[in-house]
Amino acid sequence: MQVLIFGAPGVGKGTQAQIIAEERGLKHISTGDIFRENIQNQTELGKIVKAIIDRGELVSDELTGQIVKDALSKAEGKFILDGYPRTIAQVEILEKIFNELNITSPKVVILDAKDEIIINRLTSRRLCRQCGNIISLLKVAENGNCPKCGATGDFEKRKDDEEEVIRKRLEIYHATTKPVVDHFRKGEGAIVIDGTMSKPDVTELINQKL
């Protein structure tokens, strides 16, 4: 199974992709996660993309295309792709990659939510350093422990989750990525889901429709 998951920053792509991948034995390929891992490990790629990502801008189509090609060719046709394609040029690059890999009908999941909900979510988003899960500060227990693994709060905030950068990312999403999402929305069988529902409800609907 191959799944493409789309939606604005903070709509819940990573949260849902992580769950669906685990449940269905798919590889979760998130371009943002790959970049952040490279930044963390201070690789050459990480050094190139760090400032771009911190500003909330898009990494070049060429660089992103290489990363996706590499990841997809190792995924043995079982993946959920999160955060790609984000420009019309990336749509064309992905079509070529899919042709080479004989992938003909990937499933498309689109999550929708209004900007104000997204800003709220992203300013509260943290990553648990213990279990690696995406969590929300709004859901952290009174004792400050991770709602997923229960570990004593050891959370990391993404640099691009400052309100000013979130607004920049949303602006780029509407100007550049929304046309890509609308293109996939028109495709036969596109699964469109209200991303403002609870996490389990979103997961259940995705599973029903997949």
Shortest separation between residue 11's beta carbon and ligand AP5, angstroms? 5
Catalytic residue, chosen from 158, 159, 185, 199, is 158
Nearest-approach distance from CB 126 to ligand AP5, in angstroms: 7
Catalytic residue among 36, 121, 126, 169: 169
Min dist. Cβ of residue 200 to ligand AP5 (A): 8
Told to check if 6 binds ligand AP5 by CB under 6 A, we report: no
Number of residues that bind Mg ion (CB under 5 A): 1
> Smallest distance, Å, CB 68 to ligand AP5?
7
In the block, which residue shows the tokens 């992709």?
17
Q: Contacts with ligand AP5: how many residues (CB under 6 A)?
A: 36
Pairing label, strands 134-136, 125-128: antiparallel
CA distance linking residue 102 with residue 112, whole number of Å: 29
Mark whether 86 is an active-site residue: yes
Tokens of 170: 């949303």
**With binding defined as CB under 5 A, does residue 14 bind Mg ion?**
yes
Binding of ligand AP5 at residue 64 (CB under 6 A)?
yes
What is the three-class DSSP state of 181? helix
Residue 85 preceded by cis peptide, ω within 30? yes
Q: Per residue in 99-136, is it b (16+ CB within 10 Å) or e — as a string? A: eeeebeebbbbbbebebeebbebbebbbbbebeebbbe
Q: Which stretch binds Mg ion (CB under 5 A): 6-14, 43-51, 103-111, 161-169?
A: 6-14
Binding mask 85-124 for ligand AP5 (x = CB under 6 A): -x---x------------------------------xx-x
Give a three-class secondary structure readout of 54-117.
Answer: HHCCCCCHHHHHHHHHHHHHCCCCCEEEECCCCCHHHHHHHHHHHHHCCCCCCEEEEEECCHHH
* Known catalytic membership, residue 125: yes
Catalytic residues: 13, 86, 125, 158, 169
Residues that bind ligand AP5 (CB under 6 A): 7, 9-15, 30-32, 35, 52-53, 56-59, 64, 83-84, 86, 90, 121-122, 124-125, 134-136, 160, 169, 197-199, 202
